[in-house]
Amino acid sequence: MKILVTGGAGFIGTNFVYHMTEKGHDVTVLDKLTYAGGKDNLEPLGDKVRLIIADICDREAVKKAVIGQDWVVHFAAESHVTRSETDPELFYRVNVEGTKIMIEESLAAKVQKFLHISTDEVYGSKESGLFKEEDKLPGDGQASSPYAKSKAQADDLAQEFAKTGAPILITRTTNNFGPWQFPEKALPRWITNLLLGEKIPVWGEGKQVRDWLYAPENAKAIEFVLEKGKLGEVYNVAANNKPEIENRRAAEILCAGLDLDPKKWIEFVPDPRPQHDFRYAIDTTKLESLGWKPERKPEKQFKETILWYKEHENWWKKRKEEAEKIYKK
């Protein structure tokens, strides 16, 4: 298939691009190359991938990019919660207005399928149990951060187009981790800290729960939804790790992966966002009923991620300073 991947030079997008090029698909990436996207992410693929450097809010650029594409997979988004708190207008422009432009121009170009990548944060936090796809209410009332609210609005937008018969699919995913992740996010930040001989800063008591999904597994899930999913439907994508992984446990696994004593290398710090979502958990029964099932081996995948960062020191070291800026007052 001819596939246009927006945000394909970012973290999850890069993992998806590698997966689909290995499958022999004709992949074009549309990416603005902000701080979180890197041209060097795609360089190992050589001429297997075409890169268009453009903003998804640039309608003329989008109009040209979607011509002749069979599928459009829309990852492009501003994604960091802390950054959204200082610049919510940017998040609305990119995540909502940019999504609208992508959908409109994709439909005008008569693409066969448009897959919108959403997030479990549109549901908000849940003390116990799991959110099903139908638990997402219209609007952004369940979302807590400007980032999550912008994604909730974009999610609604995609659903509204789908109701008109547009060939749209939506996936809502849990926290991803793995290769190519910019070191502002928790796991790569912690890994790179340890590799630099610095402690892991864990917020509060570290009891927050995130369902860590290995990005290469998410790439397989997205391919599966494109091939097997029903147009107009929403699918939750998660690892559903058992037992659930608290942040402090994730930090301990990383320390163990580097043969470090967690008592010496984990530092509990005051939580700068005590009201932030405490637990994310979503039900994947709908997708698994179609035959999808992820590899649920988080400790193995954490170790593979550590190995990747050890082997790609030049990649993350040139990004580390920018990543740390948002944590400095």
Catalytic residue (choose from 92, 147, 235, 280): 147
Helix and strand tally (H, E) in the chain? 14, 11
Q: Distance (Å, rounded) from C-alpha 254 to C-alpha 263?
A: 12
Cβ-contact 152, 142 below 8 angstroms: yes
Q: Distance (Å, rounded) from C-alpha 306 to C-alpha 322?
A: 20
Catalytic residue (choose from 55, 78, 105, 120): 120
Cβ-contact 298, 242 below 8 angstroms: no
Q: Distance (Å, rounded) from C-alpha 237 to C-alpha 286?
A: 9
Q: What interhelical angle do 215-228 and 11-22 show, nearest 10?
A: 60
Structure tokens at 208: 């927050």
Known catalytic membership, residue 259 = no
Known catalytic membership, residue 217 = no
Q: Distance (Å, rounded) from C-alpha 227 to C-alpha 33?
A: 28
DSSP 275: T
DSSP 137: P
Catalytic residue (choose from 31, 105, 121, 184): 121
Known catalytic membership, residue 121 = yes
Structure tokens at 203: 């917020």
Q: Which long-range contacts (CB under 8 A, 24 or more apart) does 293-297 make?
A: 294/213, 294/214, 294/217, 294/220, 294/221, 294/239, 295/214, 295/217, 296/239, 296/240, 296/241, 296/242
Q: Distance (Å, rounded) from C-alpha 141 to C-alpha 280?
A: 16
**Helix (H) or strand (E) run with residue 213 in it:** strand 213-214
Catalytic residue list: 120-121, 147
